[in-house]
Amino acid sequence: MKNINDNTDDHGILSVVATPIGNLSDITYRAVEILRQADIILCEDTRMTKRLLSHLDIQDKQLSAYNEQKSGASIQKITDWLSEGKHITLVTDAGTPGISDPGSILVGHIRKNSPHTIIQAIPGPSALVSALSISGISIHDFTFLGFLPHKKGRETLFKEIAEAKRPYVFYESPHRIIKALESLKKFAPKKNVTIARELTKIHEEVVSGTAEELLQFFDDNKEKVRGEIVVIISN
């Protein structure tokens, strides 16, 4: 058993910090405090994180790019920093790290190989939970698919969604939403589809109906085939 209070000076801390998914006021007090304290901030895109830090008036922080495709700060370098007792925070461009975003490989590695490191969650926004919370769908259990595969396994997933008893949720880009709705129309024509778009931003919108109704909606409102999208399919 390891507790956050077990930390001593020579044990590093890895704080996994959620950041806003649109509205910058959605950062938590604790996230700001942790970002201020951090020795190093690992981020997906340093330009995006610089913008957030500047909004929070946090200056002179060491930023290091981290992604799970091996460019930027390597896991070995991060492990070294932690063994020197550094406080490292991990953020992504938006939302909660590790949820369809970099983070889980790093956290898994640190958990396994640096047992003295304190790994702590600094919870906050996530598009997944935000969308579910205003969907009006009863959520006791659900299946989250992240981003759908473009080719292999895609049709099988749509068939699985068609048969599902519980809600299914996935992230989708505006370039692919019409294609996803067309597949839903084909494989799951009777299901209710909820689209949560641009959450926490000026054009936040939630629309629902059958896939066919939503295709008609987007055909009538072509300017709305844009922004960031969460799709929920329910019975």
Quick check: 127 binds ligand SAM (CB under 6 A)?
yes
Contact 207, 225 (CB under 8 A): no
If the CB atoms of residues 194 and 234 are measured against ligand SAM, the closer one turns out to be 194
DSSP assigned state of 50? H
Instruction: Say whether residue 177 binds ligand SAM (CB under 6 A).
Output: no
Q: CA–CA separation, 104 vs 98, rounded Å?
A: 5
Q: Which residue has the tokens 């690992």?
A: 42
Select the residue interacting with ligand SAM from 13, 14, 21, 122 (CB under 6 A): 21
Tokens of 97: 């790290």
Task: Please tell me whether residue 49 binds ligand SAM under the rule CB under 6 A.
Answer: no
Nearer to ligand SAM, 78 or 230 (CB): 230
Return the number of the residue (113 or 133) whose C-beta is nearest ligand SAM.
Answer: 133
Q: Is residue 193 part of the contact set for ligand SAM (CB under 6 A)?
A: no
Q: Please answer whether residues 172 and 231 qualify as being in contact, where contact means their C-beta atoms are separated by less than 8 angstroms.
A: yes
Work out whether 100 is an interface residue with ligand SAM (CB under 6 A): yes
Helix (H) or strand (E) holding 37: helix 29-37
Using CB under 6 A as the binding rule, whether residue 20 contacts ligand SAM is answered as no
Could you say which of 79, 92, 117, 183 contacts ligand SAM (CB under 6 A)? 92
79 or 234, CB closer to ligand SAM? Answer: 234
Per residue in 41-69, is it b (16+ CB within 10 Å) or e — as a string?
Answer: bbbbebeebeebbeeeebeebebbebbee
Nearest residue to the partner ligand SAM, using Cβ: 95
The two structure tokens encoding residue 226: 């844009």
Least CB distance to ligand SAM at residue 199 (A): 3
102 near ligand SAM, judged by CB under 6 A: no
Mask of contacts with ligand SAM, 199-218, x by CB under 6 A? xxx-----------------
Would residue 121 be called left, alpha or beta, if left means φ above 0 and alpha means ψ between -120 and 50 degrees? beta
